[in-house]
Each structure stands twice: as structure tokens, then as C-alpha cells.
Amino acid sequence: MAETTAVRPAPAPTSSGGGIMRRLNLGTGLLAGVVLAAVAWFVGSAVWAGNDKATDQAVIAAEIGWVLGFLIGIGAFVAPIRWMLGKDPSHEDEMFLAGKDQGVGRYFRFTTDHKVVGVQYLVLAMTTFGVGGLLAMMIRTELAAPGERIFGGEVYNSLVGVHGIIMIVSTIIMVVGPWGNFVMPIMIGARDMAFPRLNALSFWTLFPAVPVFLSIAALRGIPTGWVAYAPLSDQAPPGMDAFAVAIILFVISSGIGAVNLIVTALTMRARGMTWNRTPIFVVGVVATSLLGLIALPCFEVAMVYELLDRSMEASFYVPDQGGSQWLYANLFWLMGHPEVYVILIPGTAAVLEMAPVFARKPLFGARLAVIGIIALVALSVLVWAHHMFVSGWAPTLAGPFMLTTELISIPTGLIFLVLIGTIWRGNIWTRLPMLFIYGFLWNFMIGGVTGIFLSDVPADNELHGALFVTAHFHYTLLGGAMIGAMGALVYWFSKMTGRMFDEKVGKVSFYVVMIGFNVTFLAMFYNGLAGMPRRVADYQPQYEIGNQISTLGAYTIGIGMLLFLYAIVHSWRHGTPSGPNPWHAKTLEWFVPSPPPLENFEVLPVVTGDPYGYGEVDTHHTTHAGAISGPAGHEGADS
């Protein structure tokens, strides 16, 4: 209230509220981060001088200094400190934090509005995808012919590792980051997330992880692959320290985000929105967040141990000093397998959310979809050891883990049933998101089926560590999840920007990406079956043709992605205005203007039915249609 703002000496010429936060932004964050990093580096170097782990220690100190400095500089701790001092932020302060009347500037501040955070995540994810994609092009260029022609083993191994981890992080955030934050709260009829400040903290904890990731290049890389198996990681240059710090940051960020998403979806759904009436995308986001919350901390623990090993010779992973390489492998895959479902479920849920809109039919067996997603979450924490079938660890567990792994095909099958059941006899509206749904159907089928080959222990003994595995998980994570995510981007683009996605360029990019993708990875399946190992810079001549095809395919993907990027940028600036509900869809986000105003709803909606009542006269998701503010449009989604 006014008394706290009144005692503060800071002049607030244009508007009240905000306090010191008015002076803090990305720039002050970067400045404070660099300063604190430099201080930590010099102090660290001085304290540990002479120690043979001194470089690692100083690097770790500097990276942590950077992160703390950045968070302090951008104002992440201002509100908690004010609370501790008893100076609660006023309503004006909160509105300032939410980005009221700040134009583009709010994207460069510690802004709490969930829509700002969603846009920030989208731009960040696209940027990291760009970096990861560029690295993929470099890898494929090296592999275009036998011989270590361009990079040499050390650099190549780092390229593979950084490409892997940056893509893993990008794909984890690519749906839940932008759309879980931007759309999900509106979808459930809320004005913001349950913890808006945590939402901002989640993004601004991830942001400083990006420079930490990139510093890997300056610190001589991570020539270990993204799995960073110990004890190879103990030999790695200081890039491994940056890798570990970045992972720890990422896990903290995603944990904060996950808690926030779960609490929001559990407690802030509109009046009348029972679980039966909750959109499937919301279910997917909750399931994913829960799974991430269970799985990802294992990675954090693994990385803390790694840092202790590297900087203080703690020997968690050093076999001849009482440690075990299998401790690392287990921790890693306890994260690693659930994590692929953390990537997959949101993309899948987005596809299921879009399918009814473009088939003009209710979601077929909506309850089956929910059961399928829950079963995926439950089973996916019980399969990690299938990544260790050939490790020699616990051979007697091969049978049980083969069982759990193959069981996953049943809930996955349910998802397919729901999808084709929804499409079947629908009136197929072949707008761009529908193409991506079909792309998902094609790619994910191949990804799923090849996974069954790998679940079989004798077959895995042959195929593990070969390119077959690489092709398989690219089909699930890129061909499945990412194609779904691209569809989601097209689908919700107008809600975020108020403009239609350029579907002409978009369709061309879709076909180019799909063709390039299938060429690349079918050829990789071939080479994998033929016995070409993963993560090699050089190979025998019999794999040359397959590699050339893969490289051509990869360049094609690159071209398609550039076209897609062009379509995004062009549509964002020049797209035709979309109106609130261009798809005539029925979920709540289409009942508010595009882009939605701060706090989304003037009057909170009441939900009376599920959002998939296509072809049903008496199913209405909400009675709220008339309460929409903003430009007049066909907000009455029930046509």
C-alpha cells in the first residue's frame, strides 16, 4: 500500500511503484554477474594457488559468482529481502513487477507476468535450438566423408557432447516453457501462475546457465558426450566444471518451474473445471512437471558429486578409491530415462490438444489419454537400467527391465489410439498444425517401434552404442516431440502475438524438415544396423554412403528450420491480425483477446463442460463467451 512507497526516497516521476526494481534489468544483471565472477575468479585463484585442482576450483567459483551476481543484479532477491525487512511490496510494486505499461522493456526485466515469461522461454528455446542445430550441422559436416578431416577427435567429441546437452535442455523447455507458462494459466481460467515471482525466478535462473554452457567452448570442451560418464569425465578439461554448474542451474530452474506449474494447475482452475473438463494439455503439463520434479534432481546430485570429485578429489566415481562408475551411471539414467518422457509428454499432449480442433471432433477416449499419460509417468521411472544392459551392472536385472521397458508400449499405444480415434471420420482441416500432427504420427511411430527393438536385451547387445540408438531417439524426441512442439507453436502463435502464422512458408518448411529428417535418420538406422558406432569422428569406408545421405538430410533439415524461423519472425512482425479465436477452438485461452491483456480475464470464467464438444449441441466449455473484452471477434467458439 501507499505507506511503503511514500517513505522510499527514490523519485518515481512517471508512475508509482517498483522501487529499486525500476533501476534493475538485464543490463545490471549482466554487469553484476561479470563483476562477481571476476572477483570470485581472482579470490579463488589466490586461495587455491598451487593446488593441482586450482583451475577447476577457480572456474567453479567464477561460474557460481556469475550466477549469484546476475540474480542479485537483475533483482531476483529484492522482494524476498523487502519481506524480511517488513517492507511488503505494494500493489503498485506488484503491478510494476508484472510489467504494467513497460512495453518491450518488460521482457528484459525480472517480470512476473506469465505471458512475458512464456515469450522469454520461447525466444530462449529458439536460440538454444539454433546453437544446437548449428552444432549438428558441424557434426554432420565432419561425418560427410571418412577421416578426421575438420575437427579432430577432441573437438569432435566436445561438439557431440554440447550438441547433446543443449538439445536435451532445449527440448525439455520447448513446450512447457513457452506454452505451459503462456497458455496453460489462461486455459484453466487463471489470471497468472500461483507463484508469479517464482515463475520469473525460474526463467532468470535458466538464463545465466546459457553463458555457463557457452563457456564450455572457452574451457576446452566436454569431450565426453552429453552423458559425461565417469571416470572419463574426471579426465575432461575445465569445460566439465561449466557443464556441471550449468546442469545444476537448469535443474534448479526446472524444479522451481515445475512446482509452480503443478500448484497452479491443481489449485487455480476456474470454477467448474473438474478434471474431466480440464484440457488434456494441462494434464500433460502437470504430469511432465511431476516427472521432471522426480527425475531431474538425480542429475543435480550426480553433478554435485562430479564437481566434488573434480575439485576436491572426493572420489565418488573413482573405482580404485572406493567409488563406482556405476553410481554415476545409475544416477544419470535415473534422470535420463524419465527425462525423455519429460520431453515427450508435453509435445504429445499438445498434439492431442490440437487434434480435436483440426478434426472437428471430440477427443476420442479422453480418459484413455489421461490414463496413458499417467502410466507413462509411472513406468518411465522404472526403466532406467535398460540404458545399462551392456554395462555389466546387475545382469540378473536384464529380464525385469526388459519387462518394464516393453510395458511402456501399452500406454504409448493408448496415446496412438486416442490420436487416430480423434482423426478417424473427422472433418480434416488441413491447416498447418494438422500437418504437424500427421508428421508426429509418422515419426513417432517409427521412433516407438525401433524402441521396442532396443528393449530386447539380445538385440540391444548388438545395437547399443551404435547409430541405431541415435536414430531411434532422434525419431522420438525430434521427430515426435519437436514436430509436435512446432505444431504447438503454429497453433498458439496467434494467441501470443495477435497475428496469424505464415502458413505458406510454414508448409514449405514443414515438408522440407520432414523430408530432411526422415532421410537423415533412416540412413542413420541403416548404418547403425550395419555396425557403425555412435560418437566417432571417423569411420570405415562401408559406412560412407549412409553418412553422405545423412549429411544431405541434415542440411535439408537446416534449410527447413531456417524457413520456419523466417516464418516466425516475418509473421510476428507482419502477420495478418488473427482475432481472438482463428481456429474456432473451445478452450478458454481462445475467449480472451490476442495477445491477452495483463491478468487475462476481466471476469473469471465458469466452466460447464469439457472443451471438446465438437458436433455436440449441448456441450459448452464455458458460459463466459460474452464477457470477453477487447476487439470484437468471433469469440463465440461454439459455431
Partner 1 sequence: MSVDTEGSEVPTRPPVRERLASPAGKLVVGVGVVVVVMSALLLAFGIWWPNASLPTTASDTEDAVKSTILVFSIAAAPVMALVWGIGYYSLRHWRHGSGDEPPEDGPPLRGSNRIAVGWVVVSSVLTAFLLVWGLSELTSTTTLAAGAKPLVVNVTGQQWLWTFSYPEDGGFSSPDLTLPKDRPVVFQVSSLDVIHSFWLPEMGIKVDANPSVTTTVSTTPTLLGTFQVRCAELCGLNHSYMETTVKVLDGPAFDAWVTAHGGKPDVTAAGGTSNG
Omega cis (within 30) before 231: yes
**Torsion over CA of 133, 350, 515 and 339, rounded to 10 degrees?**
50
Residue 484 CB, nearest approach to partner 1 (Å): 15
Residue 63 CB, nearest approach to partner 1 (Å): 24
Residue 282 CB, nearest approach to partner 1 (Å): 19
Neighbours of 231 (CB within 10 A): 17
How long is the chain?
Answer: 639
Q: Which is nearer to partner 1, 32 or 437 (CB)?
A: 437
Residue 225 CB, nearest approach to partner 1 (Å): 5
Residue 541 CB, nearest approach to partner 1 (Å): 13
Rounded to an integer, what distance in angstroms lies between the CA atom of residue 232 and that of residue 153? 14
DSSP letters spanning 165-232: HHHHHHHHHHHIIIIIHHTHHHHTT-SS-SSHHHHHHHHHHHTTHHHHHHHHHHTT--TTTTTT-TTH
Cell of 137: 550441422
CB 594 within 8 A of CB 572: no
Q: Which is nearer to partner 1, 126 or 244 (CB)?
A: 244
Cell of 3: 505507506
CB 262 within 8 A of CB 290: yes
Rounded to an integer, what distance in angstroms lies between the CA atom of residue 245 and that of residue 304? 8
Q: Which is nearer to partner 1, 54 or 457 (CB)?
A: 457
Residue 516 CB, nearest approach to partner 1 (Å): 20
Q: Which is nearer to partner 1, 33 or 439 (CB)?
A: 439
Sign of CA dihedral 445, 449, 454, 455: positive
Q: Which is nearer to partner 1, 120 or 578 (CB)?
A: 578
Q: Which is nearer to partner 1, 430 or 629 (CB)?
A: 430
Q: Which is nearer to partner 1, 341 or 389 (CB)?
A: 389
Q: Which is nearer to partner 1, 151 or 566 (CB)?
A: 151
Residue 460 CB, nearest approach to partner 1 (Å): 9
Residue 5 CB, nearest approach to partner 1 (Å): 49
Long-range contacts of 57-64 (CB under 8 A, 24+ apart): 57/311, 59/219, 59/238, 59/241, 59/242, 60/241, 60/245, 60/307, 60/311, 62/37, 62/38, 63/37, 63/212, 63/215, 63/241, 63/242, 63/245, 64/40, 64/245
Rounded to an integer, what distance in angstroms lies between the CA atom of residue 486 and that of residue 493? 10
Structural Rg of the chain based on CA atoms: 25
Rounded to an integer, what distance in angstroms lies between the CA atom of residue 553 and that of residue 144? 11
Q: Which is nearer to partner 1, 173 or 471 (CB)?
A: 471
Rounded to an integer, what distance in angstroms lies between the CA atom of residue 17 and that of residue 20? 9
DSSP H or E run through 599: none
Residue 36 CB, nearest approach to partner 1 (Å): 34
Q: Which is nearer to partner 1, 349 or 359 (CB)?
A: 359
Residue 355 CB, nearest approach to partner 1 (Å): 11
